[in-house]
Amino acid sequence: MAFSEPTRSALKIVGVIPARMSSERLPGKVLRPICGLPMVHHVYERASACRYLTELWVATDSHEVQSYCARNQIPVLMTATTHQSGTERILEVMQFKSAEVYLNIQADEPMLSARHLELLLEPFWGDRRTQVTTLKTPLDASEAQNPNVVKVVTDLAGRALYFSRAAIPYHRNPSSSLPFYKHLGLYAYSREMLDRYRHLSPTPLEQTERLEQMRFLENGISIQVVETALDTIGVDTEEDWQAVTRYFEKLRSVH
C-alpha cells in the first residue's frame, strides 16, 4: 500500500550523523575543510534539505566536533567513546530521541542529497514491516576491483545477499553481463529492529569483512537495497577527499 503525503509526513523520522575524529585511514576527516566548510557541515546542510526528517542531529564522541557544531547552530549530541560503529552510536541516541525510523547518515558522505534519504524511506512508506534499507548504484567493472569500494549483491526482490570489499559477484561465466553494484553507506532502520540489534554480538563475517551491516544479515535481518543513479564519493582516503573537493569546486564555479 502506498502512503499519501500527509501520512508520510506523520511518520516520525530522526536523522543521525555519527561523527568521530578517530578514523583509521583519514584521521580527523569529519572536520577537514571542503571549499571552506568542514565535511560534517556539508553533510548536515545537505541532509537537512530532506523535508521528511522530524529531527536531525550530529552524534559525536569528540569535544572538537561538538564545539564546532555548537558554534554553527548544528544540533549535536555527545555520545560514548566506546561505540564501534555508527549503528551503535544511534542506539545511544535512541535513548534521548524517540522515532519510528532512524537514518544513519554517514559523516563522510558530503555528496549525499535529499533524494538519497527519500529513497531510503520509500520502502518504509510502502511496507511498515521494513526493517533496514540502504542504497546501491551501478559500478564499472574496473572499479569493482578496488577494495576501498564496498560492493553488494541482492536477490530478485532487492534484498541484500552479501556485502564485500571483494569484486562480487565473481564472473565464473565470462559471458555473464551481470553488473556490479557499489554500496552507498547510508541506512534507515526501524525502531523495532534497532531494539533487537542492541542485543546482538559482533558476528564472524562482520569481523572478517570489517563491515557492520553483515551483523544484520548473519542474524536473519532483511536489508532492502534501493538502486539509485546518484553516485557519491565516501571519503576514506586522501584521494577521496581530493576528488570530493574538486566536485564542490566545480559546483561553486557553476553557481
In DSSP notation, 147-196 reads TTS-EEEE-TTSBEEEEESS-SS--SSTT--PPEEEEEEEEEEEHHHHHH
pLDDT at 5 over 70: no
1 lies in some domain:
no
Across 224-240, average pLDDT: 94
In the prediction, which pLDDT does 1 show? 44
pLDDT at 202 over 50: yes
Please, are residues 197 and 131 in contact by the beta-carbon 8 Å criterion?
A: no
Across 117-138, average pLDDT: 96
pLDDT at 3 over 60: no
255: confidence class by pLDDT, cuts 50, 70, 90: low
2 lies in some domain:
no
Across 169-194, average pLDDT: 93
5 lies in some domain:
no
Across 135-151, average pLDDT: 94
4 lies in some domain:
no
Q: E strands of the chain, at which residues? A: 13-19, 33-34, 37-38, 55-60, 76-78, 101-105, 132-139, 151-154, 160-164, 180-190, 223-227
9: confidence class by pLDDT, cuts 50, 70, 90: low
C-alpha cell at 140: 564499472
Across 158-184, average pLDDT: 93
34 lies in some domain:
yes
In the prediction, which pLDDT does 22 show? 82
127 lies in some domain:
yes
Give the C-alpha distances (Å, rounded to integers) separating 122 from 102, 134, 244, 254.
13, 11, 27, 31
Please, are residues 14 and 54 in contact by the beta-carbon 8 Å criterion?
A: yes
pLDDT at 2 over 70: no
pLDDT at 6 over 60: no
Angle at 179 between CA 174 and CA 182, to 5 degrees: 130
88 lies in some domain:
yes
Residues 6+ apart with CB under 8 A from 158: 224, 225, 226, 227
Q: Whole-angstrom distance between the N-terminal and C-terminal Cα of the chain? A: 40
CATH classification of the domain holding 45:
3.90.550.10
Please, are residues 105 and 120 in contact by the beta-carbon 8 Å criterion?
A: no
The model's pTM: 0.92
| Of 90, 95, 106, 120, nearest in space to 44 by CA | 106
C-alpha cell at 184: 552507498
The tally of domains found in the chain comes to 1
Query: Per residue in 54-91, is it b (16+ CB within 10 Å) or e — as a string?
Result: bebbbbbbbeebbebbeeeebebbebeeebebbbbbbb
26: confidence class by pLDDT, cuts 50, 70, 90: confident
**Percent of the chain having pLDDT more than 70?**
96
147 lies in some domain:
yes
In the prediction, which pLDDT does 175 show? 82
For the chain, the average pLDDT equals 93
What's 129's DSSP letter? T
**Percent of the chain having pLDDT more than 90?**
82
Across 85-101, average pLDDT: 93
Domain of residue 152 covers 10-254
- Name the residue type at position 13: I
